[in-house]
Structures are given as structure tokens and as C-alpha cells.
Structure 1
Amino acid sequence: MFRPVIKLFKSLKFKYLSLFVIGLAAIALFSLMFGNVKQETYELHEFKISPKTIRSLKTVEDTVKTEQEKRRIEAEVTPFYQFSEDIVKNRQAIATSLFDFLIEVKQENVPGPEDPEKQERSKSEQIKKVSENFSKLAEEEPGLRLTDEAIASLLTKGTAELRKMQKEIVSIIGEELSKPVRSGDLSTVRYEVERKLRLSDAIPPTELQTLITLSRSLVVETETINETLTDKRIEEEKNAVEPTRILQGQVIVREGQFIDSEIYRQLELTGLLTNQSSSKPMIGLILYVIFVSAIVYLHFMTWDEENGKKKKSLLIIYTIFFILVIMMKLLSLIDKEFDVQVAFLFPTALAPLLVKLLTNERLAYMMTIITAATAGIMLQEGFSAIMQMEIALYILFGGVLSIYILGNNGRRSNILRTSLGVGVSNILFIGFYLLMTQSSYELSELAFYLIAALTSGILSGALTIGLMPFFESAFGLLSDMRLIELSNPNHPLLKKVLTETPGTYHHSVMVANLADAACESVGANGLLARVGSYYHDIGKTVRPHFFIENQHGLMNPHDELPPDKSRDIIIAHATDGAEILAKHKMPIEIVDIARQHHGTSLLKFFFVKAKEMGQDVVEDDFRYPGPKPQTKEIAIISIADSCEAAVRSLKEPTPEKIEKLVKSIIAGKLNDGQFDECDLSMRELRKIEKVICETLNGIFHSRIEYPE
């Protein structure tokens, strides 16, 4: 059905084809999803009577009410006060320094009594000096002001008397400020300081008022508001405020009720007014579709792969995606009729299983994420703010897990095992979901969710197996059924090998047995290896008699040819075989086996022969063009091919000889770097060696001699 379309698309450049397909898919996706995001709205007006009872279709936060509650809490928070001993010491230090300066000025250049005029001039200078010092201090401490008369009066006192006054004031200030003093306590503390000064014997009556004024100005707050800690306490209290919410299903206005400003605001907040938000879901959905389309486009633009494969993969993933979207649409239509979430029946692993088996793992991860997000939007219960998150996570986790469980084995049995693993994963997630909702569920509801989880997993595997042949046939992919068809001995190419190169045919069957067994031992595709082995030497049909297995005792033509000519003929069978297979439209996997099964290995016999003949030869000239094996299957065929040919040349093959020869061949290929571009591990190579030895021993076992 899709073959004519695919043929047409092959002629288009991938860039333009991808834009056309992605654009067309975006329009279709928008059309299918729009009905799921469009919500019901009402034509209502403020200060009118509501014609019907209206409930909120979603849970939303009432930010106005929440903010009002936060402002109330902020106003009630007690400020954080912090007592500072440094303030006490600072005020005492100011008092001490004032008197120290007075005493210092008083003692500087005191004139003798014989010169009253100079004495008067010196006194004026002292008053001026003290006044200037006080003025500087008053810039930082505005309350510390003394008149020239008060300074002059203090300067008339003796040093001992000034020290006594200094000590008394410092003591009283220290005593009163050592207790927490807030702004509201200042008047009380100043009065107490004044009272103590009036009762003190150390204060002369003539200086009492001056020192009271000075001491009162030294009284300040010692316990102040710590703005940082207070703001932190306010933030903590505000953060502890539970948001005020309008809950899904909550009645906002009843039929016949007057719609006041508060009710109208709540209707606006929940998006239930026709004149308010009808276009928002459409714009949001457009942005989502653009976002998804951009991800797909960027993925394919950054994918380093041939355009033919990219075109095919693009069509495959969109075909799978829209099958799933249609399933989501059907589920969303029936979900409203049930009290339980029918969406949990959705096959969580269908997208990743199909995409990985038909394309690659990277695309499978991308499609899992996109499918999960789309399902979260389409399979909503009521109207969520954005999406039904539990459904999105349910599909995401199930899909990712299926990719890990499936691994690289796409056989039907493994797909079924994967689906069971996904079913168990689904049960665990639904258990998490039901427990986190902290709701009570009836036994029938729990039974439904258990069955839904298992059904989702099993359905994923069953649909994958059921849809695989459709995709393989529609897009020309290599399936197990196709491989079985190619293994039929009546296939024209196999008949060609059998009739034109019977020795090669026999050799290919032997290699197929070895490769199949070895692939099975390491989890590779044994069927692909078997069928590929049947065709791997088809290039030998071009010049059959130049290959020893087809000579049947005839003269070896290489004896008469120079080494470079023999080299060209032998090497050509790999490229000739690939060309023949490509010409007959064989799957690319089979073509690759023919081209790569010798990798870049050395034709050692002819290389040594050329050297013995005295030719100036380079080793690279006697190597196959490659490329080296790119897959496990091709690497194993390469080993099996060499081992079968080598063991067949042994005169008396024994288990010991076979084992030694197989080890030598594998080690030689490993050291030559032939396995550098495939993912065979050393552990797998040991398994392959063991299986090939066992199989060869079974083939070349010793037989008893029958009597004549």
C-alpha cells in the first residue's frame, strides 16, 4: 500500500520531504488534539444573576486570596531584636573621650597668674578648641552639643573633679545601657539617668544641668531590629502560608445567585468566561505541536545517516505515532464514562518497541518522550493546568524500561518477555500513584488498576508482534519471515550458487551452521547470520574455477597467474557478490554481509608468493577493501568462513588440532583489528570459539572403517 508513496518520496530531497511530512503531521496532530484541550466556557456578566450552577473544571490557586493572607501574616510577624554590647561600650567611650579631651586641653600651656591678659586669651583658645572638637563629634552624634558657657564652666573645674564626674557618668551610662533598650524605652531610661545624676555626690550643682543634657544624649537603643533576620522570619512565615485554591469540582456560583465582583473574579481565574480565554488553549496547542515538530526535524537533520534510511524512518515513526494518537483519542472519549482512569489501559511500550525494532534506539527514546507528553495532554481527567502528569510518567517509565529490557534481541519470544516486564513495571507505578493520592479505593477499583497495568504491558507486546509484519512489508524492512523466504533453496540466487559453484554452496551451508550456532551463543541474530552465509560467497559465481572448492581436482589456474592477478580475482568476489545482491534488490543486511565478511584481511598466500618472487610489494595492496565487519553477525560469519575452510584443509582433523586452529584464526583476526568496528567483547569471542569448535568436531568427527 505504501510502496508507490515511498517510491515517489525517494526522488525528493530529504530536507524538503521532511518539511512536508512534518508539516502535514503537525496539522493532523493539532486537529486530533484540539478537542481534548478546548474547555467549556460561559457567557456571564458581573452584577447579573447566574443562569446555572457552575463548578470549577480545574484546581487553581487563588493568588489574590493567597497574597492577602501573606500580607496579614507579614503585618503580624514580631520583629527580630538583637542586643549589642558594642553600643554600650561605644557610648561609654564617647563620654570618656569627651572628658579626656577637656582635661587634655585644660592642661596644655596653662599661663602663669602674673599675666591675666594672656590667661584670658588662653582660656578663649581652650573654649574654641573644645567647641570645635564637639562640633565634629556633633556631626555624627547630633545630640552631643555644649554651649561655650558650659565648656568654660567645665574648664574651671580641677582635673580630679573632672575625672570624678567622668567616672560617674560612664558608670551610670554603662549601668542603664547594659539592659536591653528599645526605642519605646528611651524616655524611661533617660529619666533614670537624670535621676541618678541628681542624686550623685560626684556632680557639682553648677554643672548638673549641663551633664544631664550630655548624659541624656548618650542614651540610645541597645536592642535594635535585625532587618536581615526579621525579613528571613517574614519570608519563612509567608512561605508557610498554604496557597488558597479553588478546587476542581468546587461550586463557584449557584443557579440564581447574584454574580458579585468576587465571584466574577473567580470565574475569570478559572477561565470559565467566554470572552476571556477561548483562544489560549488553541495557541498553547499550536506551540506544543511546533515544539514536537522541531524536535523531530532537528533529530533527523543531525542524524548522520543516508537519506534513504532517514526518509523511511521518518515515515515509520509518524505512522506509529498517529496510530497511538488515534488510540489516545478513543480512550479519551470513553474515559469520561468511568469513575476509574481508563487511560491506564494504554499500551505504554508500543511506541518504543516498534520504533526500536524498525529503526534505532535513539529514535525510540525520542518517540517515548513525545508519546508520553501527548498522552498526558489528551488523556486528561477534566481539565488539568497542563497535562495529566501521572499518565505521562506512566507511559514514559514503561516505555524507557521496555527499551532496556528488549536489548538487541528482537525475537518474538523476547518481545513477549519484555511486555511482561513492562506489565510488572506498570503495576509498581500504579501502586506508587494510588499510595501517593492518599485516597481510599474499593476492591473493584484496585482490581481494575491491576488488570489495566498487566493489560497495558501485554497489549504492547501483542500489538508489536501483530504490527511488525505490516511495517516490514510496507517499508521493505528485513523480517524473520523475509529471511525464511530467502533461505529457500529454490531462490534463484541460491540455485545459481548450487549449479555454478557446488563446492561454494556446500561451503556456505557449513558456514551457515557454524555462524547460526555461534550467534545464538552470544545473543546475536542467528537467522540473519544463517541466511547471510548462504549468500556471502555468491561473488564466486563470476569466476567459479578460480576458487579451490570448485576445482574438483582440475588444474589450479592461479599456478599460471602472477600474484597480483590472483589477488585481484580473489578480492573481487566480495565486491562482485555485493553488486549481484544489490542488483537483485536483496536486503541491505545481506549485501553488507557479502561486502564485509572478509573485512580488510590480508591475502597472505599471494602476498608471501609475491615476496618470494622478489617483487617489491606493500601489504596493503594485498588486503580486501573492506569495510571491516560492522555487526556481530558479520564478524561471526567472518570467523566461521575462515575456520570452515581451514579445518577442511586439515588431513586428519582431531579436536586438539581443530581447537588450536580456531584459536589461531580468531587471535589473528583480533590482532589484525578486524573486530574494531563491531561490538564483540572478549567474553563473546571465547563463547564463539567454544561453539565453533564443538560444531566442527561434530562435523569432522572420526568414523570407523567398514569391512569390504
Structure 2
Amino acid sequence: MRQRAQQIFEKLGYRKLMVIGILMTGLILYGFLMNSVRGNTYDISLFQLSSETIRSEKTVEDPIKTEMERKRLAEEVVPSYQFMDEIAENQSAVIESLFGYLFDAKSGTEKNKEADSTEAMIAQLKEDLRLMETSENGLRLTDDMLDSLLSLSNDSLLRVQQELNSLLQSYLSDPVRVEEVARIRTEIEQDIRRSEQIPDDVVQAGVTIGRFGIIPNELVNEELTASQVEQVRNSVEPTRILQGQVLVQEGQVVDREVYRQLELAGMTEEQLNYKPLLGLLIFVVIAMGLMLAVMSRSQEDDRIKTTELLVMIVVITISLSLMKLLYAISENFDLVISFIFPTALAGMLVRLLINERAAVYVTILISAAAGIMLQNGYSASLQVDVALYILFSGLTAIYLIDRDGGHGRLLQISLAVAGVNVLFVAIYLLIGQTQYNLSEIGFYFTAAVISGLLSGALAIGLLPFFESAFGMLSTMRLIELSNPNHPLLKKILMETPGTYHHSLMVANLADASCEAIGANGLLARVGCYYHDIGKTKKPQFFIENQVNIENPHDRLPPEKSRDIILAHSVQGANMLKNHKMPKEIVDVAAQHHGTSILKFFYYKAKEIDPDIDEESFRYEGPKPQTKEIAIICIADSLEAAVRSMKEPTSEKIKKMVDAIVEDKLKDGQFDECDISLKELKKVKAVMCETLNGIFHSRIEYPKETN
């Protein structure tokens, strides 16, 4: 698989693979979440029996029922009336005008006694009263009525006027509404007919004038009433179809009202709401943009970044698949089973396989996706409680995994995650308004513990798969390899104790130096433990293992000694390969000497043959390919050199460090790795400080005397 991936990488290149990988992740994310945001639709028709009970997946306003309620309440509003006292005065003035015309006409009739003159005056009087006839109430006096009024004496006519005015003022002094006008007119008619001030022959004319004078004086205040109606309409809360509300029961006939509500909730198959899908697209675009930013910040080379991207895609896919499985079975439970989801799995895997920054990103992405997919209700909305649950647990695991393995045991971290999960569930139960019984509370706390333990168990189970499939070396794997009980380390200790001690010293130097420049100190340390395992083939030929024995090289020609010494790198790499050790550890064994020259035996051979080929005394290599191996190369040479010093001092150590680094630079040993001169300066300073701590001056205690 690794070879196939390498061929694809060489063919497409990093940039194309990055774009393809991020697009693929976006499509996977969109595909998993699409059904969660789109909601359910049903194939249902009018006047058919429903095959299942359907609940609304969202809360929506019912505009028709809302408007019906507003209209009903508006019709119940009592109009606001306003009493207008000036109407009585206006009507009295109208009556006075009427009688004024009568007095004027009567005065003209007395001057002219001819009959045709009286008829002419009645005609003129009717012309004068025409405006009153065409008014809203319509005063209609017949010729006989006018003639009877004109036939009265002035005193009698005046008494009639005063009586009518008096009655009119009496009735219009109180409020009179439109619906009361007919009644009041009947009452004033009866009063006129009973009045002694009105002669019998003009009673009918008086009744007509009296009824004409009664009009409404308490009128509806249209502006105030309209304001009250608007206020009542605005006060009506919209009628809503609530999330989870049963719209139709199983076996119920789908009538027009039910079908209308289903359409309103967007749950018929004919409807397709694009807004949730558009919102999900925006979410995916943001998520993929952040993924691109995270990958761009990585300091690794393009090949490693491509592998890291593939790991993130696989981890995200696994997490989404687990969510989908959990969501599929959640319908069979009345409780929220989302709390069983292995919350810290994604964060653990990415933290162990890649780095902290990528792990935090993946945890945030998974928590947001879970908030969309693992919904507790009927609506397609973001569940904040589930999102926060996964976020807190994932971040806890990430920050408890220490790079050096101080808190690297996943079981312990799983227990800590379970504790955080329990605390979050307690918050969830306390803040929520729902009442839970003891069995439900017990289920939620049990689910929280299972989630934490399941995260660690799955991470432990999946780590070997990732390491094998992608050729990655995790922190946990490095910690396992650093165990002194590892068979190869025990072999070094038992067969080459001097080499074992030398490896520990080199490991301390390399680890501290790598941490100083941001390289992987744990990888350097573990690589140092195994870098000289090739010396176990012939341990007595290496000086650190020559305790109380003769140096066998003294009896061998330089070429034979050269072959034995140079072979330990290749033999060590082959031994590690045969034991299926990670490629990074094998590379340390093969490259920790680079292609440097074996100077001691080269100069010894040159004394015998001045024309000896220098290249034949160089290590096979290759040169260090990473910063970690370059530092191990320096530390290996430096530890041996300082150990051979007599009375090492700070000044001697500094000169030795500078000389070794300078020699390797001039020899081109660092040409194929990306370590900079600035980083080498930091490395030299750290190595000097570490060696001074190891070889510090000791106080000479006086000998005991008897």
C-alpha cells in the first residue's frame, strides 16, 4: 500500500493530492450530513390513510390559523365612541332655521291675501327647505303640513318651535348612538303627540320635524377604534406547528387541513427545501478551508504532509461512520444514546499519529458534525449539548497525551476522559429542565464512562492499523520501543553493555538538542537506543565493549578492521528490518554515520599504502535525511570523543563540539537534510550544556583514617 501511495505521490505531486484530498473530505462530510439537515419527507396523498404517525420536524408558523385568530379577536373589539355635545346645538339651529323660513313665508302671505299667492309661497318655502330634504336624514314636509304650519298664528307657531326645541334638547343632551336613533325618534314622536303646546292640526308636521332632529350624537371614533383593532391583532401570538407535534396519526385520514400542515412543515415528497443544503455547503466550505490552513502550517515535507492528510481523512470517515451507526439505532431508544459515542477517539488518533494542532482541528470538526447528525429531537438543527460533550472530551485527551509519554498510557487517559464525560453529563442533567428518574440518570452516567473507555480501546486497536497502512510511527509506538524489556534492547544490554551505555548517553544528548529546535526528541531518543545494534554481531571489536581484553584490531590489518567497523551500520539496519521495526528507526541505524570517513584506520592504512583510496574507508550511508538523524550523528561522534578526553573541561568540550560540527559540515554530511546553521548553533549550545552537566568537576573527599 505504501509503495502504491508513493507512486501516486510521485505522479500527481503534493499540491494536486492536497486539493483532491480536501475535496474528497468535503464530499464525505457533505454526504454523511446531508440527510441529517434535509429532514424526512413522506409520500402521502389527500384523503388516504396515513401508514405511520408523522410528527413535525420543526416549529413553523401557521399563517392561515394566525390570521383567523387575529380576525376573530378584531371583530370582538368594542368600538370606541365619542360624545359630541355640539350636535344638539346644531340641530337646534336647524330647527330655528326651519321655523325662520316659516315665519318669513307667513309674513309674506299676510301681505298678499290671494290664494295663488299662498301656493306660491309654499312652493318658495319648499325651495328654501330643499337643502334639508336632501340631507342625510331627509326632512320631507308635505304641502298640507306646510299649509297647516302657515295657518297658525305667530304665537302658536312660536310655541310649537319652542316645544320642539325643548324636546330635542332633552333627548340630545344624552348620548344617542346609531342603533338607538329609531327608538329615540319613536319616543319623541310620542311626546309630540301628547304635547299640549302643539295643536292637533300640526301634530303630523311636528312629528316629522321632531324625528328629523334626532340624529346620533355619540359616534364611533374611527381612528381610535382602528388603533385598538391593530393593537389587538398585533398582540395575537402566531399560531405555530411545534417541533414534535403529531400532525397525523397512523391510520388517520389525511384531510385538507392535515395535508396543509404537512406542506407547511415541508414534509411532503413534492417539496425540497434547498436552504438547509446550502447552509451545510457553507459549513463544509469553512471546515475544508480550516483543514487547508492546518495542513499549510505543517513544517513537515510534502510526502509526510500527504500521509497526514490521508490519516485525517480516514479518521474523520471512521468517526462519521460511527455517528451514522449510532444515529441509525437511536430511534429504538427513548433516551439520548449519543453519550455513548467514543468522544476522544478522533483526537487521540490524530494527536498520536500527527500533531496537536491537527488533533484539535479534527476534534472541533467531529464535534460540529456530531451536533448536526446526532440530533435528540425531531428537527434538523444543531445539538449544542452533543457538540460540547465531544469537544470537551476530545480536548481533554489531546492535552493529556504528552509527547514524551509522561501521560502516554491510553488507559489512564481514557479514565480521565470518562471522568470529564461524567462531569459534563452532570452539567447536562442539572441545567436541563427535564425530570429524570434514577434509571435514566444511571444510564447517562454509564454511557459517559463507556464513551471514555471505548475511546481508548478503539484508539489502541486502530493504531497498529494506521502505523502499518501509512507507515507512521506514533508516540505510543515509540514509548513501547523505549521499554528496556524490548528483546532487542535486552540483546544490546546483555551482549554489548558498553554500547548500551553509550547509546543512553547519545540519546540524552540527541533528545535535548531536538527539543531545542522543535524536532521530535522522542524519536531521536528511541532511535539512539537501537542505532548501534549492529555492534552485537562482533561486540569485542568496538572499544566501549573492550573491558579487560586485548584490542583485537591490534592484530588485524587496517582493511579488515575497516570492514568490521563499517559493517555495523548496514548490519544494524538489516537486523532492525528483520524484526519489523519502523522505518524511522531503521533509517537512524543506516544513516547515523552518513558517509563519513573512518579516519583512524584510513590514516593507519595510508601509512602502509600512501595511494590508498579514501572512499573505501567511508560508511555506505546514505547521509542523514532528517534533522533528528543529523543531531544523532553529531551526538554519536561527540559522546565518544568527550568520553576519551582526559580531565574534560567546559572549554575543551566547547572546542570539541565546534570541531565535530565543523568537520561534518565541511564533509557535506548535512547536505541532504533541512537543518539550518541557526539550528546547529542551538544544538551546539545544548550539547555543551548537557555534557558539562555529565562531566562536571567533582569534589574530592578526603580518605578515611583509622
What TM-score comes out, normalization by structure 1 length? Answer: 0.51
Return the letter of the residue paired with 1:463. L
What number of residue pairs does the alignment pair up?
Answer: 472
SS of the residue 2:271 aligns to: helix
- The residue that corresponds to 1:5 in the other structure is 4
Give, in whole Å, the separation in 1 of the partners of 2:273 and 2:638.
72
In structure 1, the residue matched to 2:462 is 467
1:361 paired residue number:
356
Query: How many Å separate the matches in 2 of 1:475 and 1:688?
Result: 36
Asked if 1 retains the 8 angstrom alpha-carbon contact of 2:343 and 2:393, the reply is yes
Contact 1:26 1:289 (C-alpha < 8 Å) held by counterparts: yes
Q: Could you list the per-position Cα deviations for residues 239-269 of structure 1 after superposition, in whole angstroms to 9, with x for gaps in the alignment?
A: x9988754332133567578566x6664344
Task: Sort the Cα spacing of 1:683 and 1:387 in 2 relative to 1 into closer, same or farther, 3 A.
Answer: farther
- Could you tell me whether the CA contact under 8 Å between 1:520 and 1:526 is conserved in 2? yes
Shift of 1:353: 1.1
In structure 2, distance between residues paired with 1:447 and 1:690: 59
Do structure 1's residue 513 and structure 2's residue 492 form an aligned pair? Answer: no
Distance in structure 2 (CA, Å) of the matches to 1:420 and 1:681 = 38
In structure 1, give the amino acid aligned to 2:312.
I
- CA spacing shift, 1:452–1:636, aligned 2, 3 Å: farther
* Residues in 1 aligned to 2:687 and 2:245: alpha-carbon distance in whole angstroms: 67
SS at match of 1:252: strand
CA distance in 1, matches of 2:66, 2:511: 67
- Tell me, yes or no, if structure 1 residue 451 matches structure 2 residue 442: no
Q: 1:346 to 1:688 in 2, by over 3 A?
A: farther
| Shift in CA distance, 629/326, structure 1 to aligned 2, threshold 3 Å | closer
**What residue number does 2:396 align with?**
401
| Preserved contact between residue 347 and residue 363 of structure 2 (Cα < 8 Å) | yes
Contact residue 489 and residue 530 of structure 2 kept, 8 A: no
1:311 matched to 2:302? The reply is no
* Correspondence for 1:372 among 343, 367, 370: 367
| CA distance in structure 2 between the partners assigned to 1:16 and 1:27 by the alignment | 16
- Return the letter of the residue paired with 1:349: A
| 1:550-602 deviation digits (Å, cap 9, x = unpaired) | 99679999xxxxxxxxxxx9xxx99x97999799987346646987899xxxx
Q: Tell me: CA distance 1:594–1:434, structure 2 relative to 1, closer, same or farther (3 Å).
A: same
Q: Which residue of 2 is the match for residue 16 of structure 1?
A: 16
2:400 aligned counterpart, secondary structure? helix
**Closer, same or farther: CA 245–391 of 1 in aligned 2, 3 Å:** farther
Percent identical residues: 29
Q: Deviations over 1:30-89 (max 9, x none)?
A: 55445545533245678x6875785533342538599989999xx9xxxxxxxxxxxxxx
1:498-533 CA-partner distances (Å, limit 9, x unpaired): 9xxxxxx87653222235578999999668525425
Per the alignment, residue 427 of structure 1 pairs with 422
Please point out which of 273, 293, 318 is paired with 2:268.
273
Q: Which of the residues 335, 339, 342 maps onto 2:334?
A: 339
Decide whether the 8 Å contact of 1:515 with 1:530 is kept in 2. Answer: no
Aligned to 1:392: 387
**Aligned 8 A contact 1:379 1:391 in 2:** yes
Residue 352 (structure 1) aligned with residue 347 (structure 2): yes
Q: Partner amino acid for 2:272?
A: S
Q: Tell me, yes or no, if the aligned pair for 1:335 and 1:341 is still in contact at 8 Å.
A: yes
Matched residue, 2:638? 642
Q: State the secondary structure of the residue aligned to 1:277.
A: coil
Q: How does 1:162-561 map to 2 (within 5 A)?
A: 246-253=241-248, 266-277=261-272, 288-289=283-284, 292-297=287-292, 299-300=294-295, 303-410=298-405, 413-478=408-473, 479-480=477-478, 488=488, 508-515=499-506, 529-532=525-528, 534-535=530-531
Structure 2 residue matching 1:328: 3-state secondary structure: helix
Comparing 306-315 and 477-486, the one that deviates more: 477-486
Q: Cα gap change, 1:589/1:457 in structure 2, threshold over 3 Å: closer, same or farther?
A: same
CA distance in 2, matches of 1:680, 1:340: 58
Q: Kindly tell me: are residues 251 and 403 of structure 1, through their superposed partners in 2, closer, same or farther at Cα, counting changes over 3 Å?
A: same
CA positional deviation for 1:406: 1.0
Offset at residue 447 of structure 1 (A): 1.3
**Aligned partners of 1:579 and 1:305: how far apart in 2?**
29
Summarize the Cα distance change of 1:666–1:437 in structure 2 as closer, same or farther, 3 Å threshold: farther
Given that residues 471 and 477 in structure 1 are in contact (C-alpha distance below 8 angstroms), is that contact kept between their aligned partners in structure 2? yes
Displacement of 1:336: 1.3
**Letter in structure 2 aligned against 1:415:** L
Q: Residue 297 of structure 1: CA displacement?
A: 4.7
Query: In 2 relative to 1, CA 477–516 (structure 1 residues): closer, same or farther, beyond 3 Å?
Result: same
The Cα of 1:417 is off from its aligned counterpart by 2.3
d(CA) in 2 for partners of 1:382, 1:270? 15
Provide the C-alpha distance between the structure 2 equivalents of 1:678 and 1:439, rounded to a whole number of angstroms: 62
CA distance, structure 2, for counterparts of residue 515 and residue 6 of structure 1: 34
* Secondary structure in 1 matching 2:334: coil
Do 2:344 and 2:397's aligned partners in 1 also have CA atoms closer than 8 Å?
yes
Does the C-alpha gap of structure 1 residues 68 and 317 become closer, same or farther in structure 2, counting only changes over 3 Å? same
SS at 2:247 equivalent: strand
- What is the match of residue 143 of structure 1? none
User: Contact conserved, 2:624 with 2:630, CA < 8 A, in 1?
Assistant: no
Distance 1:689 1:437, change over 3 A: farther
Distance 1:677 1:404, change over 3 A: farther
CA distance in 2, matches of 1:52, 1:509: 76
- Following superposition, the deviation at residue 375 of structure 1 comes to 2.1
> Are 1:49 and 1:258, in contact at CA under 8 Å, matched by a contact in 2?
yes
Shift of 1:663: 10
Partner of 1:171 in structure 2? none
Q: Distance in 2 between matches of 1:683 and 1:266?
A: 76
Which range moved further: 399-408 or 31-40?
Answer: 31-40
AA matched with 1:512: S
Counterpart of 1:346 in structure 2: which amino acid?
F
SS in 2 for 1:17: helix
Aligned in 2, Cα 1:662/1:441: closer, same or farther, shift over 3 Å? farther
Structure 1 pair 682–302 and aligned structure 2 pair: CA distance change class (3 A):
closer
C-alpha separation between the residues in 1 aligned to 2:239 and 2:396? 39
Q: Which moved further from structure 2: 505-514 or 319-328?
A: 505-514
The 1-side partners of 2:552 and 2:278 are apart by: 75
Is the 8 Å Cα contact of residues 576 and 586 (structure 2) preserved in structure 1? no
- For each residue in 1:212-244, what CA deviation from the matched residue of structure 2 results, as whole angstroms up to 9, or x when unmatched? xxxxxxxxxxxxxxxxxxxxxx9xxx9x99887
Q: Could you tell me whether the CA contact under 8 Å between 1:642 and 1:665 is conserved in 2?
A: yes
Residue of structure 1 in register with 2:106 after alignment: none
Q: Is the 8 A contact 1:312 1:475 kept in 2?
A: yes
Provide Cα deviations, 1:158-210, integer angstroms capped at 9, x if missing partner. xxxxxxxxxxxxxxxxxxxxxxxxxxxxxxxxxxxxxxxxxxxxxxxxxxxxx
What runs of 5+ residues in structure 1 fail to find an aligned partner? 76-233, 499-504, 558-568, 604-625
How far did residue 373 of structure 1 move? Answer: 2.1
- Check the 8 A contact 2:509/2:687 in 1, yes or no: no
Counterpart AA for 2:403? N
Note the C-alpha offset of 1:627: 9.3
CA contact (8 A) 1:356 1:403 kept: yes
